[in-house]
Structure 1
Amino acid sequence: MLIIDRFEGDYTVIKMGNKTFSLPKEALPKNAREGDVLKIVVDKESNKDLKKGIDELVDEVFE
């Protein structure tokens, strides 16, 4: 479980069990608050779009 522990300047301190790490505030929704639980999801559609763009760029480079 990922929980917002606190905000420090432009960063958010996230707790995951007994570990902590920081993320830029701008990576979280504007309404995120201390104590909120975060849910991470994989965006398959965006992954597909990103791969398509990379494939097109590679094709351009190696033409």
Structure 2
Amino acid sequence: KEVRKAFALLRSICEASRERTGLPLPELSMGMSGDFAWAIAEGSTMVRIGSSIFGPRG
């Protein structure tokens, strides 16, 4: 799925940024209620799951 590919790309960008800068960059925030499992599988350290907790907006 395209979302998972995007998460993998973001992870690789974050890893490259760590290597280039020497900074720890401990957080990788990606994913929301509908795709948090893929985000975690791809290395996310922070996800937004408000809709799962509080229900849809509106």
Give the TM-score normalised by the residue count of structure 1: 0.19
Give the TM-score normalised by the residue count of structure 2: 0.20
User: Higher strand share goes to which structure?
Assistant: 1
- Greater gyration radius: 1
